[in-house]
Structure 1
Amino acid sequence: MRSRIGTSRLYGAMVCGLLAATSYAGHVMAEGHTLTAQDYAQAERFMPYNTMPLVDHAVRTVHWIDGTHFWYVDHDVHGDHYVQMDVTSGKASPLFDHVKLASALTKAGAKSVKTDKLGITDYRVAADGRDQVEVGGTTYLCNLKAAGECVDKSTLVKTGKEPGVLSPDRKQEAFIRNWNLWVRDVVTGKETQLTTDGVENFGYATDNAGWKHTDNAILEWSPDSKQIATFQQDQRLDGDMYTVTTRVGHPELSAWKYPLPGDKNITMIERVIINVPGHKVVRLKMPADQHRSTLCDDVSCGEDGGWDDVKWSQDGNTLAFVSTSRDHKHETFRIADTKTGEVRTVFHEDVATDYESGNGTVNWRYLPDTHEAIWFSERSNWGNLYLYDLTDGKLKHAITTGDGNVTEVLKVDTKTRTVWFRGVGRTPGVNPYYQQFWKVSLDGGEPTLLSPENADHTITMSEDGKYFVDSYSTTSAPPVAVLRDANDGHTAASVAKADISRLVATGWQPPELITLKARDGKTDVYGLMFKPTHFDPKKKYPIVDYIYPGPQTGSVYTYGFMPSQYDDQSLAELGFIVVAIDGMGTPWRSKSFHDTWYGNMGDNTLPDQVVAIKELAQRYNWIDLERVGIWGHSGGGDATADAMFRYPDFFKVGWSESGNHDNREYEDDWGEKWQGLLTTNKDGSTNYDNQANEDQAKNLKGRLMLVHGTIDDNVPFYNTLLVVDALMKANKDFDMLMVPNQHHGYAAATPYITRRRWDYFVTNLAGDTPPKEYALKPWPWK
């Protein structure tokens, strides 16, 4: 899963300008060449907004309508086609009349809608049979059976603007207003207040993890849509974080609750069950719990929202949940009686470092009908599933065993006692990052592989569990999507096969998969290498290391197919070898691999980056080991500055964006999960000193650029100012760009920042001269 400081290569929002600091003679110079605008234009050809439209029929994700129908978007040279497939016949047909829908949406007020580019982000069939589509953030109800008519859904029913969480029966949605929880009737718009004692910073279902704070409600509806599991979140004693805007006149101050590692008071939650028809709140009979998760550093980890560590029984009488300790070392599985609020502790798991319940999704499951629970654990050094007896809390047996990880449990059928899951590293000889799909009996035994291709598999199962769509690919082989039987994996129908002929015609080439040795000289680490399309093996090329150190994700965005992994190929095109290497301490491998530098976040995978690049230089004499650059965003920005300070004779040029340079100045759950609880020694030193970049800044020798958005509410820009202060006190030269009125991503400023980064490496690492003020295309991402 890419949350927070890991999703940084895609940016969003508006810019007002920026402030540049000092400049000085470069440390790395070679016999230079003057690059032209045409050279930069050639590099820009391989940016995502230019390559992605050239991939035809690349179906990765489908959306199930019911047990026998799903829809997907099929793109080709003629545009986007919305298609539905009937699994019983294996035949595909248009989901709707594109021409009629485009016309109806335009008449209803939707902007920039074209027949070949509808821009639909969500589609479903409404209760009255009309097509419900979401375009540009607006939901429309459309009748396409006659001439075609769409209407903005919000004009039909007058309600508040608060975002709601839809009930399973799709008749109500729950939302927050004035710190209390309400429900509104979807058809009539009637609103009903459910709680009355919510107050500022002690509200119901509020979404505030410090680094993330939204108006969304965090809750779980019961299957019968009559109860809601949520919490009253206490942040009244939490410390605040502040940003101010840049403008003429008085700046606008933003303040929100943002606990830090070591704070005495951090966010706590009081768990409650709300009976919706009776407007009754049942408070669970237990002390306030930590605002923590078994999966990430928020109680809501997935893209679809929700409360991940809470599972209802089908009858709504009981609720299972897991409590996570502040340091993520202790997990407690509990069951609550939803009518009385009584809570029973069933079992615990304690670990030496930090517990996680999977990759991408919480993998534990509540099976009340058989008084069992599926539990995920890395106790064997690998992520496996275990079956527990809920009557006594005892382990019954392991469901899966051996090397390799269960990454995502996608479905459990208690009648057939079958579990379907994605997994990595479970097939010898297959790339350990390739996800494959399996099924296994709850009673144990050998799992059955349902996706045999040596590739990375994206799986979407039907709700009834009878079928799944499998889209598989590698970095060089584009996606093939097929419909498969979930019982034995046989192919029931072909969905789509990607065609990259238009992409290849531009001169595009795939990155090279590289396998190198880690710091210990034994462990394999994997990565991607990008070379210029005009590569000449007789030349010597400077090398740039794109880094994201984890611990929750790595430098490589995917080992499946992507026509562009951000601007890696574009940068290579300017005369560089570009690498992205997943060092030790990143996920998806063994527990010991992931824990390599637990408690020592200043490691940042850098020992692996250094030895791997040296190995590449030994392997290929066209890599110039005297000209090594590094860059990254967020966690990668932290690692970049760290690299320039800890390995000043190896890394000569660094570009550090929005780095969390000292995790004592970043939200509490991040550092306390990976570095441990903050402790202060008698001499004033702390266990966090080993990760503080400002303490290493005096070692800088090379050329370093520091970049940060001034209203970053994820990683506050004070993190970068700590490093700036230390560099100035050490009398070090450095460069800086502050991006006014921008958050963690740079949005409309992204083309400018990207071009400046290219210029920085071209000038200071390659010793060449870039074209003056080349303008990259404005990015189309919203």
Structure 2
Amino acid sequence: MKKNLLLFAFFVSFLNCNLYSQIKEMIPYQPSKTEILERYKKALLLDKAVKNTVFKTSIRAQWQSDGKSFWYSNVLKDSIIEYILVDAGKGTKNILFDEPKLRNALSSVTLIKTPQKSLVIDSLNYDAKTSSIALKYDKNYYQVKLSDYSIQKINSLSKDKTKYPSLNRQWQRWNSFQTDSISPNKKWLAFIKEYNVFIKPIAGGNEIQFTKDGTKEKPYGSLAWSPDSKYAVGYHITPFTDLPVHYVLTSVANTTRGELHSQPYKQPGDPFTTYEMYLFHIENQKTTKVNAPIIDFFDAPELHWRKDNPNYFTFEKVERGHQRFRIFEVNTQTAETRSVIDEKTNTFIYESRLFTHYGKESNEIVMSSEKDGWRHLYLIDAITGKEKKQITKGEWVVRSVDSIDEKKREIWFSASGMNSNEDPYYIHHYRIGFDGKKLINLTPSKGNHLVSFSKNKQYYVDSYSEPNVATIIELHRTSDGKKIMDLEKSDATAYLATGMSLPEPFHAKGRDGVTDIWGIICRPADFDPNKKYPVIESIYAGPQDSFVPKNFMDRYTTEMQSLAQLGFIVVQIDGMGTANRSKAFHDVCWKNLKDAGFEDRILWIKALAKKYPYVDDSRVGLYGTSAGGQNALGGLLFHPEFYKAGVAACGCHDNRVDKQWWNEQWMGYPVGEHYKEQSNVTNASKLTGDLLLVIGEADENVPPESTYRVADALIKAGKTFEFLPLPGVGHSDGGPYGRQIKRDFFVKHLLGVDPPSRNTNELNQ
């Protein structure tokens, strides 16, 4: 009996200990005023302590004319700069010059003693044959032999005039395209006079007037020559002048009056200038209207002439509403057109990510499409419009095209999501044939990669890292991707010695229960795992990209890490509706910007709290700027059961008020009732949480009235909120002052303690 009683007492004691432990773990972190003051002071000290503790996170290779050597500089502790010379052919690297000797050489010729701090050189040529350097110093140029450091003044640095393989840039295709006013054969000059088209012989002679109906209200313009100089292409233009938006600067020096500023600003639904295409025939002096749709979205397009038959050219047209992309071919003999490519979608075509490359030696087009559900590259017959080959394929995304080699029929591109064992957003670089074969991964190591090719593309520098893995920088050979040598590696030892931790990547299932949602976590340096800390989400759900930092010591994590030191778990997440995943993942945003991936974000934070009991998912706030400002308020309005406090800076709170090009891309055209229904202004009366609105009065990106309309609606609904207008500030989170007020806001509303009073200098008492 006694034994049983002892066992029972032990069992009760065991239960009580575990119950106490569980209760202890569940204690919400709610610091006292004294403790929070200490946290502010420690956070400030940490911000200072971590500066200049991590080095060698990137290099900028300065390739030399020999095609195999380059130099770069490293900024080290105490602002010491070292200059490194690399010979890619030999696989060696050395200090570029003896700095004391170079100092003495420069002092001897300038008769001025050089500063004791490291020399700062940004322009330098290295000559391996003569073992000398030419450099710019103090606005003058010098040649220095490295064998004896003899020096002489020179007039300038020589320029490398070698023609290198060009890189393909995904240019802004919708800027108005024009050729030189002089014809390619240098015989004709095309110009606009009194709103009409004139062409005259350069050698002398009378000008030829091709049009007579051009007026100020409807002029001709945007002329472009055919490569054989037989035609000029131009447009009868109906201009539309964008209406202005305004803002008032309230604190202008030397005046007692506010200063009104205005700028043209196209909003969703506003008309565009239109272009009707015409051909101007030099031989018979004939003007012909092309039987083509009026271009009523963006400007005059670039023309692509067939090399084998200059009587034909193609141009691209995106329909307003972003649901149809076409490539038209024009027959200059008949002025008739036909559709070569006609791609349609029920949601949207992301026009800024469209890539097209027109073969110079063949009638082929390499173009991107998401028609199979992922962004991939296709080889198209430019005459028939038929698909010759899907070049890339799989459940991954082509991110960009670096270059195309038509002779070798190779494409150099970057992609993400191909490696199943890592974050699907990590970028890798590849080479592939036009036939979709011989795929080579130039950057196989795990991590997010940034590649920089030599001018002749024989070598490349590969920098890769993860948010919690230091940067490694390597030199590779392009032909087979083989690593030649290690260049640099970052070291976070000094950073971690301050007590700070690196952000932790974390993923959890999204709303469909299948798709992984990725984000990062930042913790206080001294967090206690037995207490539960409020969560603050840094949010930006703009559909134009993905936003969670993927690199080591990314500058965007600095504010998150600093904010966490006040006693928060700070996170950032890419939910559905953002880019760089599947088409279905992205399509969530279509006519649905208020969604902002919140279902995925909430599930992610709940999964985080399940894994880490010190994460308090009952106290969650969020903050953001621009589209993130819209999202921050949207979280409070549409998910009040989860988000309790938010700071919304310069938000595009009503998509009818914001810029046309961004909002119509995602919300569609024409402007329908869904714009109004999803507006933060329309839904302002739903506010139940704590809100801080921040607006810069000089915002030229998102009109300030977007935020003021929210404030007006909140006032009319009798809601309580905080409002921070910033005189003279543009599109911003408010800068240092705005970030200070944001921190105070979350301390008050999520930690339940008054922030320090700066009016009484409480932090220094």
TM superposition score category, shorter chain reference: 0.7 to 0.9
Partner of 1:322: 316
Secondary structure (helix, strand or coil) at the match of 2:494 reads helix
What one-letter code is carried by the residue in structure 2 that aligns with 1:709?
A: G
- Between the aligned partners of 1:312 and 1:348, the Cα distance in structure 2 is 19
| 2:50/2:498 contact within 8 Å kept | no
Secondary structure (helix, strand or coil) at the match of 2:74 reads strand
Structure 2 gap ranges (5+): 1-27, 127-131, 145-150, 158-163, 167-175, 181-188, 196-221, 280-287
Secondary structure (helix, strand or coil) at the match of 1:496 reads strand
Partner of 2:92: 91
Cα distance per residue 1:249-305 (max 9 Å; x no partner): 333332222111112x235578999xxxxxxxx99996664555xxxxxx9xxxxxx
- Say whether 1:712 aligns with 2:681: no
Q: 1:723 to 1:124 in 2, by over 3 A?
A: farther
Deviation of 1:561 after TM superposition, in Å, equals 4.7
| 1:514/1:527 contact within 8 Å kept | yes
- Between the aligned partners of 1:222 and 1:73, the Cα distance in structure 2 is 47
Partner of 2:243: 239
What one-letter code is carried by the residue in structure 2 that aligns with 1:656?
A: A
Partner of 1:55: 54
Partner of 1:253: 260
- Between the aligned partners of 2:567 and 2:609, the Cα distance in structure 1 is 16
Partner of 1:768: 753
Q: 1:583 to 1:734 in 2, by over 3 A?
A: same
Q: 1:677 aligns with which of 669, 674, 679?
A: 669
Point out which structure has higher relative CO (alpha carbons under 8 A, 6+ apart): 1
- Between the aligned partners of 2:419 and 2:643, the Cα distance in structure 1 is 37
Structure 1 gap ranges (5+): 1-27, 153-166, 170-178, 184-192, 200-217, 274-281, 293-298, 300-306, 681-685, 777-782
Partner of 1:347: 341
RMSD, aligned α-carbons: 4.8
- Say whether 1:533 aligns with 2:518: no
What one-letter code is carried by the residue in structure 2 that aligns with 1:55?
A: V
Cα distance per residue 1:543-569 (max 9 Å; x no partner): 111111120123413355527613111
Partner of 2:594: 602
Structure ID, larger Rg:
2
| 1:484/1:490 contact within 8 Å kept | yes
What one-letter code is carried by the residue in structure 1 that aligns with 2:55?
A: D
Q: How does 1:94-105 map to 2 (within 5 A)?
A: none
> Structure 1 stretch 411-420 or stretch 728-737: which is displaced more?
411-420
Cα distance per residue 1:622-650 (max 9 Å; x no partner): 12222111111111100011111112232
Q: 1:648 to 1:593 in 2, by over 3 A?
A: same
Report the TM-score when normalising by structure 1.
0.73
Report the TM-score when normalising by structure 2.
0.74
- Between the aligned partners of 2:650 and 2:241, the Cα distance in structure 1 is 28
Partner of 2:645: 653
Q: 2:478 aligns with which of 481, 486, 496?
A: 486
Q: How does 1:132-143 map to 2 (within 5 A)?
A: 142-143=141-142
Percent identical among aligned pairs is 31
Cα distance per residue 1:305-359 (max 9 Å; x no partner): xx99888999998986533222222222357899999987532222222213686
| 1:637/1:659 contact within 8 Å kept | yes
| 1:101/1:148 contact within 8 Å kept | no
Partner of 1:189: none
What one-letter code is carried by the residue in structure 1 that aligns with 2:316?
A: V
Q: How does 1:35-434 map to 2 (within 5 A)?
A: 35=35, 39-44=39-44, 47=47, 51=50, 53-59=52-58, 61-62=60-61, 64-65=63-64, 67-77=67-77, 78-92=79-93, 116=118, 118=120, 120=122, 142-145=141-144, 146=151, 236-246=240-250, 247=252, 248-263=255-270, 265-267=271-273, 289=295, 292=298, 322-334=316-328, 346-356=340-350, 363-434=355-426
Q: 1:414 to 1:257 in 2, by over 3 A?
A: same
| 1:51/1:564 contact within 8 Å kept | no
- Say whether 1:732 aligns with 2:747: no
Cα distance per residue 1:756-775 (max 9 Å; x no partner): 11111112211234333399
- Between the aligned partners of 1:345 and 1:114, the Cα distance in structure 2 is 68
Deviation of 1:607 after TM superposition, in Å, equals 1.7
| 1:549/1:636 contact within 8 Å kept | yes
Partner of 1:721: 708
- Between the aligned partners of 1:308 and 1:59, the Cα distance in structure 2 is 38
Partner of 1:633: 625
Q: 1:758 aligns with which of 743, 750, 764?
A: 743
- Between the aligned partners of 2:433 and 2:360, the Cα distance in structure 1 is 17
Partner of 1:547: 539
Secondary structure (helix, strand or coil) at the match of 2:617 reads strand
What one-letter code is carried by the residue in structure 2 that aligns with 1:266?
A: F
Q: 1:493 to 1:559 in 2, by over 3 A?
A: closer
What one-letter code is carried by the residue in structure 2 that aligns with 1:238?
A: D
Deviation of 1:52 after TM superposition, in Å, equals 5.8
Deviation of 1:597 after TM superposition, in Å, equals 2.8
- Between the aligned partners of 1:240 and 1:134, the Cα distance in structure 2 is 47
Cα distance per residue 1:408-447 (max 9 Å; x no partner): 1112112221112111111222210111121111012252
- Between the aligned partners of 1:272 and 1:104, the Cα distance in structure 2 is 63
